[in-house]
Structure 1
Amino acid sequence: MKDPAEKFLAAAERLQIEARIAEAEMRTSGEIVVMVVPSSYHYPLASMIGSSLLAILLGVAVAFFTGHESMWFFLELFGLSFIVLHELLKRIPLLKRLFVTASDMKEEVEEAAINAFYQKDINQTVDHTGILIYISLFEHHVRVIADKGINAKVDKAVWQEIVDTIVGGIKSKAQAAAIAGAVDRCAAILAAHFPLKAGDRNELGNEVIIGRGK
């Protein structure tokens, strides 16, 4: 099965975004990284809780409609149902998502985005001017993380505007254009405070990172 993060952006769309990143970094000494992951976490507890609840409901329903009142019948049915449903929940994101709380998803995306920011060395640019645009598909969350050199000069509300731009584009199935627009907006912010300087080099690659999450 093709990775959802790879389906999210076609090869041509990734090239379009990468070209915009390259253009952006011709105007600024800052660095912009775009990362897309299928999920920020695998949520094993959601699979356990969801499959347990569904197996109980199925067992009760089957016992009721067939007239089987034996506890052993119920336990056998529950056990088989749990195994099948657990595998389904692991493989069908839309079903698993029903058993994950919004707060858990927000927390996991936040943690995964920060981890990615450091793992990809976005915090290691010379002037601390790296920006990560992190998109987690399962959770339907977007996070923009800017290094301390930028955050000292830019209001945090600006990053939320960029998040809203991307989320709106995804909802209208125009994600590539929305991400490209977000890159342009980041470039304008960076260029205003950190214009291109003599001897500047591209410290981070321009490729869209297709990640696996945790």
Structure 2
Amino acid sequence: MIRLSDADREKVSAAIAAAEANSNGEIVAVATPISDPYHDVALHWALVPLFAVLAWAAWRPTALVWWYDFLFGGWSPDPTMSQLLTLLMFFAALKFTVALLILKWMPLRLLLTPASTKHRRVRRRAVTVFKAAAERRTAGRTGILIYLSMAERRAEIVADEAILKVTDDHTWGEAMEALIVQVREGRPGDGIVAAIERVGTVLAEHFPRTGDDTNEIPDKLIEL
């Protein structure tokens, strides 16, 4: 798991202060180990071996008789339908439970999670954090969130009303790329700093610093 050091935190705080020195914008940097537990993904994958057992029983019903004899001895009378179905239910539940236990290992769960699902969950969490940490917390509606989810190695930039009027998703392409490149190389702190610098350049262009500007949001990295 990628981790942030004290030096990273200090660099991020300094970068925010430097970027805001030239703009009325307020930058919020947030890093989280993971944006979603993906329990539903684990549940869906655990259903695969369960249905595989049912398909196996439908394909080779005599195999259930063999397993019944193997487990309970071959000297008993032929098993009834009820006994065979109970054995099948046991096998299906066992496979399902074992799969769920294996999928508790988060690296595997993330590997099996579709990229589109990760993107949606990270975006949803970023928007939720933005609403709590930055939205409407500045007089000019100039708050912007840089959100990094380290397990998924994905980032989002969410901006307040005034910024949205003069920018679009393409505006933040360089900032996002700079952030993700550094994260993938194991330097999340440097990535956040690089994104802050590029975001600060855009904010300085559209919202230059005025004399009455105050620091409305603390200049520090928020870790969730």
Check conservation: 2:174, 2:198, Cα contact below 8 A: no
How much does 1:197 deviate? 1.6
CA RMSD of aligned residues (A): 2.9
> Is 1:153 aligned with 2:153?
no
Q: Name the CA distance, whole Å, in 1 between partners of 2:202 and 2:163.
A: 9
How much does 1:57 deviate? 6.2
Q: Name the CA distance, whole Å, in 2 between partners of 1:152 and 1:13.
A: 32
> Is 1:86 aligned with 2:86?
no
TM-score under structure 2 length normalisation: 0.77
Aligned residue number for residue 64 of structure 1: none
Matches within 5 A, 1:111-190: 111-190=124-203
Higher gyration radius (CA): 2
How much does 1:126 deviate? 0.9
Check conservation: 2:28, 2:134, Cα contact below 8 A: no
How much does 1:84 deviate? 3.9
Deviation per CA, 1:50-98: give whole Å up to 9, x if none: 22325666997xxxxxx953355564454344334313323x2221124
| AA at the equivalent of 1:118 | K
Matches within 5 A, 1:19-34: 19-34=14-29
> Is 1:12 aligned with 2:7?
yes
Q: Which runs of 5+ in 1 are unaligned?
A: 61-66
Inter-CA distance 133–58: structure 2 relative to 1 (3 Å threshold): farther
Deviation per CA, 1:143-198: give whole Å up to 9, x if none: 11122212222343121221111111112223221211111111111112212222
> Is 1:107 aligned with 2:126?
no
Q: Which runs of 5+ in 2 are unaligned?
A: 57-64, 69-83
Q: Secondary structure at the match of 2:146?
A: strand
| AA at the equivalent of 1:32 | I
| Greater shift in the superposed pair: 17-26 or 102-111 | 102-111
Check conservation: 2:28, 2:133, Cα contact below 8 A: no
Q: Name the CA distance, whole Å, in 2 between partners of 1:133 and 1:28.
A: 16
Inter-CA distance 22–54: structure 2 relative to 1 (3 Å threshold): farther
| Greater shift in the superposed pair: 31-40 or 147-156 | 147-156
Check conservation: 1:122, 1:204, Cα contact below 8 A: no
Inter-CA distance 89–179: structure 2 relative to 1 (3 Å threshold): same
Inter-CA distance 195–107: structure 2 relative to 1 (3 Å threshold): same
Q: Secondary structure at the match of 2:103?
A: helix
Q: Name the CA distance, whole Å, in 2 between partners of 1:68 and 1:24.
A: 72
TM-score under structure 1 length normalisation: 0.80
Aligned residue number for residue 67 of structure 2: 69
Q: Secondary structure at the match of 1:134?
A: strand
Q: Name the CA distance, whole Å, in 1 between partners of 2:66 and 2:209.
A: 76
Aligned residue number for residue 46 of structure 1: 41
> Is 1:208 aligned with 2:221?
yes
Inter-CA distance 98–171: structure 2 relative to 1 (3 Å threshold): closer
